[in-house]
Amino acid sequence: MERIDAHQHFWQFEPRRDAWLTDELAALRRDFRPADLAPLLQAHGFDGCVAVQADQSEQETAFLLELAGQHDFIRGVVGWVDLQAADVAARLDYWQQFELLKGFRHILQGEADRALMLTPAFRRGLAALYRHGFSYDLLILPDQLGYAAELADTFSTQPFVLDHLAKPFIKAGALEPWRRQLRELAAHENVLCKVSGLVTEADWQGWQPADFRPYLDAAFEAFGPRRLMFGSDWPVCRAAGGYGRAYALVEDYLCPFSADEQRGFWGDNAAAFYRL
């Protein structure tokens, strides 16, 4: 078994492009490279990671693939391509030559059209994605869970993985309707889920591990341990406690699970999903 951090980012900070890194995220307004992550992976017993896009450009995809080619511990890349473009099939033909490119993601959470994923153009792109053998990361907010369930039903053989549990409202302590809609999405066997990005949905300075238990309970009840995987969401997690605390709260939660279930969560599930 190899242990895999299934969700982290690299970037070269550019203020205009990275406007989402507001003053509140001042600690993230710098470059983050593989050399910064490697000691953290080693310290927490991880053998590798999956690098996920943060910028919506094909240049981002090329940048991550270049890093993956230079660092063996980057086992796979989730890039970006314009799924709504008329030439998306041709672009996927091009990207298919890169073995380390495993899937794609679009920042649906930021779209004004909350149901963009259900539009004809997006569906056409997703159909092309499936034909080319790529997975798809769902980056959405709770209000989009219903649309994601419809998408997963329509594309019932497409491998999907939900990022960050759809970012539940942990700071507010709200569970519904997020929990119910998470179960509805999880009813589709082609959807997995990353236990990632949770600390930044809590009180950044004051969160306690107990704050996350209802949300972790909901995720494990909905998906089961064989369809869940760990992601640090580094370096974003630095804004709310850092890698070590984000890791520890999940590690403690997993203690009652079987050795086999823990192996799946910490690596085997991600390796199978992303074909690492």
Does a structural domain hold residue 99?
yes
Q: What is the DSSP letter of 42?
A: H
Backbone Cα Rg of the chain: 17
Length of the chain (residues): 276
Q: Is pTM beyond 0.75 here?
A: yes
Q: What is the DSSP letter of 98?
A: -
Q: What is the DSSP letter of 112?
A: S
Does a structural domain hold residue 227?
yes
pLDDT at res. 204: 87
| Residue 150, domain CATH | 3.20.20.140
Question: Mean pLDDT by 10-residue block, N- to C-terminus, for the chain (276 residues)?
Answer: 95 68 67 95 98 96 98 98 97 98 97 98 97 98 98 98 98 96 98 96 92 98 98 93 95 97 98 98
Q: Return the number of other C-beta atoms located less than 10 Å from residue 119's C-beta.
A: 12
pLDDT at res. 196: 97
Closest CA to 50 of 256, 230, 251, 261: 230
Does a structural domain hold residue 25?
no
Alpha-helical regions (H) of the chain: 34-43, 58-70, 88-95, 120-131, 145-154, 178-186, 213-223, 243-254, 259-263, 269-274
Does a structural domain hold residue 16?
no
Domain count, the chain: 1
Does a structural domain hold residue 96?
yes
Does a structural domain hold residue 111?
yes
Does a structural domain hold residue 21?
no
pLDDT at res. 76: 98
pLDDT at res. 15: 63
Does a structural domain hold residue 222?
yes
- Residue 201 sits in which domain range? 4-11+31-274
Task: Give Cα 48 distance to the centre of its chain.
Answer: 15
